Amino acid sequence: AIADLLERQEERESGARTYARSLPILPVRAHGMVVEGADGRRYLDCLSGAGTLALGHNHPVVIDQIRRVLDSGAPLHVLDLGTFEKDEFTTTLLATLPGGPDGWRLHFCGPAGTDAVEAALKLTQTATGRSGVLAFTGGYHGMTAGALAVSANVALKTPLPPAAFEVTRLPFPYDYRCPFGVGGGMAAEIAARYAETMLTDSHSGVVPPAAMILEAVQGEGGTVPAPDGWLREMRRLTAVHGIPLIVDEVQTGVGRTGAFWAVEHSGVVPDVLVMSKAIGGSLPLAVIAYRQELDTWRPGAHTGTFRGNQLAMVAGTATMRHVRENGLVERAALVGDRMLRELRLLQGQQTAIGDVRGRGLMIGLEIVEPDGPANPIGARPAAPELARQIRGECLARGLIVELGGRRDAVVRLLPPLIITDAQVDTVLARLADAIQAARR
Ligand code: PMP
């Protein structure tokens, strides 16, 4: 019956489904990091709703708050009216923002991360009167036209999205496959100088853009953390040239990287912070915070029916509070460091692991051809087929992981911040076994 249902679903839904194909399970119950399938099998979930579930599945503080609102008789749909629930959410959110709670304006967007990206792009275009955008190789920002235009993966763009504005693509500092073909951690330095040249050389072809958009740790691009110095350099350059800096923290936010917002590691304060996923505590919610000076929108300039869902706001408030009050940001940093250390030890024994990288609980293993030829900077060819086998062997051992990266060859780990030490041990053991089994 389970197989029948999965097959029916496959026939009914679009061919674009992805997770359903790589994870042929029928989840019926979930708690914390554990997902239970209809067949009674239990899985440790290192996907966490694509990085959404900071507190794992069905955390009691989240469920209690959702239940409280449902029982209270409060209206569930209020358009963008003020409510007690929204007041608590905005108070809690503002207190987390980089540089302190003052000087920010919030805009509630449509329910998804991509809606918040659209709002950020449009706002900076309104505020500057310019249209072009600087974006980065490997960046991912969503599936709507503007967000897709600033995303890098060409395979997702066919046919190309309508050219609403010009995008100038700059190299993101990705050391393992350095875009300039040099090793030794030089990618950040050269990428920064390249960006500077594009902005200052009157013959670079770049007209002054409305914004620069980047991720502090690229997620879908293969879990690539930007060095702090490079981020500070992007902040300096954009400030000098009067370009609003949009940081997309849809995936990195709410403690995931070992700071509440990933930009905090570098001390950078962006002009626009894009937020979704974890801020809704497992329900759909997307918000941008932007510096007051950018507040150029007239009433009605950017609207939407679903903005700031009441249940998502209370779930998000509960999540943010629980993360802060229980030291989960610090714990993500600590546990992440331990996982990175142990995975680097594993890399010493497993030539299929080309690179181990990440920050906090946003970790990636780049899978490469174990006996493939190394290029001049030591990188071996990506091995997407082996990565797929590893994902399958993980699932067979009760571990849910997903793939990402330039060639879908990066095994990505996004465990919830509430992962226990014992669960870390189990995840690492199952992953090591899976890699060993996939190579056989
Ligand atoms: N930005 C980033 C950094 C993301 O990781 C994602 C989703 N993976 C998005 C934007 C788009 O969010 P959504 O899928 O909710 O539209």
Angle at 26 between CA 25 and CA 32, to 5 degrees: 90
The predicted pLDDT at position 162 comes to: 66
- Which ranges in 267-378 belong to alpha helices (H)? 310-325, 328-349
| 140 touches ligand 1 (CB under 6 Å) | yes
Question: Is 69 a domain residue?
Answer: no
| 117 touches ligand 1 (CB under 6 Å) | yes
C-alpha closest to that of 269 among 64, 412, 98: 98
The predicted pLDDT at position 299 comes to: 94
Question: Is 210 a domain residue?
Answer: yes
Ligand 1, atom nearest to 276 Cα: 15
Ligand 1, atom nearest to 252 Cα: 3
Domain count, the chain: 1
Domain of residue 137, CATH code: 3.40.640.10
| 218 touches ligand 1 (CB under 6 Å) | no
For this complex, say whether ipTM is above 0.85: yes
The predicted pLDDT at position 161 comes to: 63
Question: Is 188 a domain residue?
Answer: yes
The predicted pLDDT at position 184 comes to: 86
Angle at 199 between CA 193 and CA 204, to 5 degrees: 95
- Which ranges in 160-273 belong to alpha helices (H)? 187-200, 228-240
Pocket probe for ligand 1: among 143, 156, 276, the residue whose CB has the most ligand atoms within 8 Å is: 276
**pLDDT-flagged residues of the chain (< 50):** none
Ligand 1, atom nearest to 147 Cα: 10
Residue nearest to atom 1 of ligand 1 (CA): 141
Query: Measured in angstroms, how far is the CA atom of residue 143 from the centroid of ligand 1?
Result: 8
Query: Measured in angstroms, how far is the CA atom of residue 434 from the centroid of ligand 1?
Result: 28
| 112 touches ligand 1 (CB under 6 Å) | yes
Ligand 1, atom nearest to 143 Cα: 16
Question: Is 32 a domain residue?
Answer: no
Amino acid identity for residue 117 in this structure:
V
Query: Measured in angstroms, how far is the CA atom of residue 249 from the centroid of ligand 1?
Result: 9
Question: Is 253 a domain residue?
Answer: yes
Amino acid identity for residue 168 in this structure:
T
| 393 touches ligand 1 (CB under 6 Å) | no
- For residue range 346-401, list pLDDT tens digits in order: 999 999 999 999 999 999 999 999 999 999 999 999 999 999 999 999 999 999 99
Query: Measured in angstroms, how far is the CA atom of residue 40 from the centroid of ligand 1?
Result: 31
The predicted pLDDT at position 21 comes to: 87
| 50 touches ligand 1 (CB under 6 Å) | yes
State the residue range of the domain holding 168.
Answer: 78-325
Return d(Cα 231, Cα 239) in angstroms, integer: 12
Return d(Cα 273, Cα 252) in angstroms, integer: 11
Question: Is 368 a domain residue?
Answer: no
Question: Is 392 a domain residue?
Answer: no
Question: Is 341 a domain residue?
Answer: no
